[in-house]
Amino acid sequence: MRKLLFQSFFQRPLTEQAPALDQTAVEELAAAIQRATRRRLGRSLSIREIDAGSCNGCELEIHALNNAYYDVERFGIRFVASPRHADVLLVTGPVTKNMRDALERTYHATPDPKWVIALGDCARDGGCFAGSYAVVGGVSQIVPVDLHIPGCPPPPVAILQGLLSLLDRAARSATST
């Protein structure tokens, strides 16, 4: 173990430059943040992830944000264990009818101000699962959505771009008040 730890003193960090902000995400957010409470977040976001019936593909890519290449915590973004500690709900999946109550209750357990991000193609409108007897079809059917990050699943860079856009807008709207 000592050898491995020692090596990491001399290796260059694997962590990469932050990606440029996604222009469409920035525009989509502009409206959302205007509506939202303009309270300073201190450039930090606490995220509660909710799988509302995804195939688990999105979760794999969210996990990847914590690896050394993306190192999401350097931006003040962290994943928390309870909705009570969260600023953002990151919701994946087409919202199955069996998860509908749990999603609603988690939303209500999250303190204001809060934002909801729908992640992945099926979180927008049910995607390829739309029309099933077991699926509501999109996160916005149940809770208000501020930002949508498309992809099946979206790669980590796309998720990071979306999250940074949210931080950027939140910080700017805070200083403008």
Partner 1 sequence: MPSLIDLVLEGRTSRQHMPWPRTVVDASVWAFAANELAQGRWSLLGLWGEPSTAHMAIIDRDTTEIAVVSIDCPNRAYPSVSKHHPPALRLERTVNDLFGLSAEGLPDPRRWLDHNHWGIRFPLGDRIDALSIAAPYRFLPVEGDGVHQIAVGPVHAGIIEPGHFRFSASGETVVRLEQRLGYTHKGIEGLMRGASIERAAQLAGRVSGDSTVAYAYAFSRAVEAALQLVVPSRAVWLRALLAELERLANHLGDIGAICNDASFGLMQAHCNVLREDLLRAANSAFGHRLMRDVIIPGGLARDLDAKGQSAIRAALANVQARFPELIELYDNTASLQDRTVGTGTVAAAMARQYGAGGYVGRASGRVFDARRAPGYPPYDDLRFEVPVLEEGDVNARVWIRIREVEQSLSLANQILDRLPDGPLRVPVSAEAGPREGMALVEGFRGDIMVWLRLDGGQVDRCHLRDPSWFQWPLLEAAIENNIVADFPLCNKSFNCSYSGQDL
Taking CB under 8 A as the rule, which mask of x and - marks residues 8-37 in contact with partner 1? ------x-----------------------
- Rounded Cα distance between 23 and 162, Å, is 9
**Is 107 a residue that touches partner 1 (CB under 8 A)?**
no
Q: Which stretch binds partner 1 (CB under 8 A): 110-118, 127-135, 141-149, 163-171?
A: 127-135
**Is 73 a residue that touches partner 1 (CB under 8 A)?**
no
- Rounded Cα distance between 120 and 60, Å, is 12
Taking CB under 8 A as the rule, which mask of x and - marks residues 131-150 in contact with partner 1? xxxxx---------------
Report whether 94 contacts 135 (CB < 8 A).
yes
C-alpha dist (Å) from residue 145 to 4, 66, 69, 118: 44, 24, 29, 7
Question: Which residue of 30, 31, 56, 78 would you call a contact of partner 1, by CB under 8 A?
Answer: 56
Length of the chain: 177
- Rounded Cα distance between 175 and 39, Å, is 9
Total residues contacting partner 1 (rule CB under 8 A)? Answer: 49
CB of 86: closest distance to partner 1 in angstroms?
11
Q: In this structure, what DSSP letter does residue 154 have?
A: P
CB of 38: closest distance to partner 1 in angstroms?
29
